[in-house]
Every structure is written in structure tokens, then in C-alpha cells.
Structure 1
Amino acid sequence: MANLLKPSTLAEHLNFAVLRIVAANHQTGSAQIGTGYVCVVKFAENLVTHVLITNKHVVDGANLISFDVHLATGEADTEPDSETVAVNVSVEQVPVIWHPHCDLVAIMITPAINAAVAVKGRKPFVSPLPAEVFMTNELAVDLDIVEPITMVGYPSGLWDEQNKLPLFRRGFTASHPAIDFNGKPEFSVDIAVFSGSSGSPVFLIERGLLLNKGDTAWSPKERFWFLGTLWGGPRMTEKGEIRVEPVPSGANIHVETGIRMHLGWVIKAKETRWLLDEVKVFLGRLPPGIMDNASSHA
């Protein structure tokens, strides 16, 4: 198989950080499609674990989640191959941390990835979100109320099926990212939201001559920030009522009444950071050595 392009920008690395999730329940035969993204948590001197972040409503009720991971190619394992492996994670057998207040969940996936790629005798090519690109409230106050956003995911389950890659879509912030929308750690975005978009990471990605808030002259800059995670949006019912609901994630064709309003609600990045801190605390409480074979070297 031909190799894919080696990612040379942070945006290109997102091809290998954002995964198409199929969450299934074998007892009921139901399945849902959603989006998730990979982060890493360092919990020992030289050990890290990969963590899949998505919405709780994507995996709620599922006992198995599946996604594809690219294999690495080359001696240094620094380039992605177009070949992928299917990774299956038993939700009941791996550590899962549920956010108590937000529609977020963290699933530890390194053991399942290691088992899947071992069959191929290869290493995985995964590009977790770096911690330094997480937007904070302190940094968000310097943003304008209208900023360009990029959402990466699988709207209506669509993707580059042959290469197993997500879709990148553009929109704008619809409320200020530094302000808690309706008193919650969220902000709103002006972008079309479809089934399968649940769990999609939202970014501020810009490069070129930029005029930041407070600047008096245009200058060459690059901005790359992880702003948060899409979870839902408003819908107008046939009676004209406005309801805010999680984005549906059914894998099958279904009838949905009402009109979606080209708006989405995004959980701020700080809540993902909080969840990752909880994963680190959880791993730190485990007996020494218990996660050694289920982790990767930093």
C-alpha cells in the first residue's frame, strides 16, 4: 500500500488524532457512530497511556467501541501508512472515567491498540493532542467574540473511507469562548451540526497576516488552539419550540423531526484537561507495575 503524506503541520496531525467511533451493544444489536480524539496522560517516569475523549452519550449503553488506527511505516516509525487496523475496546474491561458534570468521557485505549497492532508486527501511528494547545480561560480573554473555528470529525458518519481520515469543516464562534454560555463551561459556534459530529474537537487554526485583539498593525502569525468538544445544539420543533439536545449518533437511517439551526454547543477545553487530570490521579492510585504492559513509553 502507498504511504499517506507525512504530517508537517499541527493541523495535518489531526488526521491521526481524531477517530471515527462505532459504539455497539451486542445484546440489543444497537450501534452509534460518533467522533473522538486522542490525548495522552503521563503517569510514571517513562510511561504514558492513550486516552480517547468523546461524549458520554456516544458510548452510553455500549459494551464495545471500535475505531481504526493507522500503522506506522519506516524505520523511525515517523510516517503513516495507508494501512490501518481495527481496534476493539471492551468498555467493561478498561478504565473509563466519566465527567460528573459535562457530556465527556475518557477511555483508556492503549491496551487495545497494542493488542491490535501486535498482530501486524508494526507500531501504531497516532498523533495525540499536545497539552500545550489547550485553550485556557486566561488565554481566551484575548480572543475576539467572532473567531474562525475548525471542527474535525465524521458528520453523518461520513469520512474518507479508503484512507480512514476525518473531515475538516469551518465556521465561527457564536459566543465569546471566555464567557460561560448560559452559566455552563461552554460556548456556542456557528456551524452545521449533524449526526456523528458528537465528540468532535473544535480548534482555532489560522496562519498568515493576522490582527489580534489589541493589535494596531497586521503581522505574520500562526494560531493553533484546541477550544473544546462539540456535544449538541438547538433544534426547532414542528411547533416552533427551541430545544437544546445532544447531537444524535445513530448509525442507522432514522427519522428526525424538527430543524437544526446551524448552531452547536461546545464544552470548553478546560473540562477535557480536568478529565485528563482525573485519569492521572486514577492511574497514580494503581499498584506499581499494574499498567506497565498496558502503556507506552514516553
Structure 2
Amino acid sequence: MVWDLSVELIHATVQLEQPLGDGTRTVGTGFLVKAPTPDGRPRTILVTANHVFAKMPGANARIGYRFSNSDGSWSYSPQTLKIRERGGEELWTKHPARDVAAIEITAPPEFAKAAIPVDWLAKDDTFSKNGVAAGDQMMALGFPRGLAANQAGFPILRSGKVASYPVAPANVFPTFLLDFTVFPGNSGGPVFMSEGARRRPGSVEAQEVQFVAGLLTQQVELNNERLEIGIVTHAKYIRETIARLDDPLAPVTVAHADNSTGARAASAEEAVSPD
């Protein structure tokens, strides 16, 4: 492969925010996916955690686009994203069983090009094919407490190790744990694996492994104490949510277990920072 998933996802990840009218704002994270319609029409999809949109009370959010300038600098230019009708009807599609949301957007051409192909999302067998297990390192992108990496509005890249076993199959274990400190504002950010050389099960040669494993949806908290563990929802459920944009009755997986017992959402509701 000639692409670097870390860099590609940095460009595809955006800050989502909604001013609350009192000098503060609610913040979450999302990322863009290139998912053509069944008839082949190009389409850009914004993916985030369902609770990010659900906790934004207004009809319009803001999506943090970034544009490159001729001198090598970048400009941060948030634009309006309509998420509800006037009557309160939600315009996004949500997974009926998992904390995942998707909405078709019209992004500026420069930003639409940054959307990652839907094929980069892990499938049901991706973890087993690549031997993903406890102790493997994954990376995550987001805007903790609404903080960006710089004035250009790029997301902050962090990492953690897979902290649960087993992690597959997704229909049995729809979420997995990541040894990673979650802050409000991280919700909805992509979690991914990008290794230059990894020996897959049954293979004698090391191969490059790059895929989006899922999105961050919760933090583990017990008796009001943060355990510095994040909960990641498997990318399989992102795929199912996107499929429901075209067919609201598209089948979804009903998982038999869940690692989120005792956890609560790292919700956008808490990610209140100065406007």
C-alpha cells in the first residue's frame, strides 16, 4: 500500500460543535467516509456517535472544515450542518442497537476528497484475519474537551492498547476496550490500526495492516471514578448504519454480549468549553 492511514484519517476527521447560546459550546468528533449509493452516485457520509447529535439540542451544528492555503498554512472554517428539521425530526440515521450515527453531507470539494473509502472500515472477519488481540496498539483521533492540535483545527492523535479479550467475532463482542484516557469531546472519533509490518495468522511474511477498527463511544466509569479505559464500537456497525441510509430496513446484527457494562458515554453533553 502507498497510503498512510494515520495521515488520511487526520484529514478526514472533523470537530462537531453546537453553540449553546451562553458563551459555551458542545463538542464531539466525526469523520468522513466515501460511500457511493447503490446506483454509483458519489456520496460523502459523516460518521459519529449517535449521542453526539442526540445531545445537541439545536437544529444546526457546525462542522470544522480546514482548507490549505498557497503559502502552506491552513485555515479553519466551521460551516453549518443541519441535523434536525424545525419540528425536531432527526436528519441523521442511527443504528438501532449501537451508538453509531451517519448522515449524508455536501462537503466542499477539497474536503470531500479527504473522505476515506468505506472499504477501509473493518469487516466482520478483519480482526481474526489480522490476528488482532489483547495488547495490540491502536490509535484514536479526536478533540478532547474541544481542544484541537493547532489553530488549523486538526484532530489530536493518541494511542492505546487493546485491553479486552476476546475481541472477535463482532456479532458476539460488538465493543472492545482500549487502554486510553477518554475525555468529553472524543466521542465519535475513529479508532484504527496502522502497522507497517505484521505477521498475519497462517502467513510466513509480515504484511502492512491498516484499517479502521471502529469509533470511540464510551468511557469506563465505576462509582463515579474514571478508569481511563475507552470503549470502541466495532466498525461492522458503522457499515450497517451506512447501509441503512439506502434501506432503513437493512439487517443489523444483534450482539450476544457487551463490554460496556458499568460504563457510561463520553458524551458530547459533557464536552462544554468556552465558545
TM-score (norm 2): 0.76
1:91 matched to 2:83? yes
Percent of residue pairs identical? 22
Alignment of 1:7-22 (within 5 A): 9-22=4-17
> Given the superposition, is the C-alpha separation of residues 136 and 177 from structure 1 closer, same or farther in structure 2, using an over 3 Å criterion?
farther
- Structure 2 counterpart of 1:247: none
CA contact (8 A) 1:144 1:213 kept: no
Q: Does 1:265 align with 2:219?
A: no
- Give 1:136's aligned residue: 123
Which residue does 1:244 correspond to in 2?
Answer: none
Say if 2:62 is the partner of 1:66: yes
Structure 1 stretches of 4+ moved >4 Å: none
Residue 294 (structure 1) aligns with: none
**Which residue, out of 163, 173, 177, partners 2:167?**
177
Shift of residue 13, structure 1, vs aligned partner? 1.3
Highest CA radius of gyration, 1 or 2? 1
Q: 1:211 aligns with which of 199, 217, 239?
A: 199
User: Does the 8 Å CA contact 2:44/2:104 hold for their aligned counterparts?
Assistant: yes
C-alpha displacement of 1:154: 1.1
Q: Measured at CA, do residues 109 and 100 of structure 1 come closer, stay the same or move farther in structure 2, by a change above 3 Å?
A: same
Equivalent-residue separation in structure 1 for 2:111 and 2:189 (angstroms): 22
- Cα deviation 1:110-149 (Å, max 9, x = unaligned): 1xx35xxxxxxx7446411222222122222232422210
- 1:290 maps to which residue? none
Q: 1:235/1:44 Cα in 2 relative to 1: closer, same or farther (>3 Å)? A: closer
Q: Distance in 1 between matches of 2:144 and 2:128?
A: 30
Change in 2 beyond 3 A, CA 1:179/1:167:
same
**Two-structure CA RMSD over aligned residues (Å):** 2.9
Contact 1:159 1:165 (C-alpha < 8 Å) held by counterparts: yes
What is the CA-CA distance between 1:91 and the residue it aligns to?
1.2
1:263 maps to amino acid: I
Q: What is the letter of the counterpart of residue 71 of structure 1?
A: F
Determine the structure 1 residue equivalent to 2:50: 56
Distance 1:44 1:133 in 2: 18
Corresponding residue pairs, total:
238
User: Per the alignment, in what secondary structure is the counterpart of residue 67 of structure 2?
Assistant: strand
Letter in 1 for 2:48: T
Instruction: State the 1:48 CA deviation.
Output: 1.9
The alignment partner of 1:273 has SS state of helix
Alignment CA distance shift 1:124-1:144 (3 Å): closer
Residue 103 (structure 1) shift: 0.9
Identify the structure with bigger relative contact order (alpha carbons < 8 Å, sequence gap 6+).
2
Q: Give the drift of 1:280.
A: 2.7
Query: Structure 1: which amino acid aligns with 2:236?
Result: K
Distance 1:180 1:278 in 2: 18
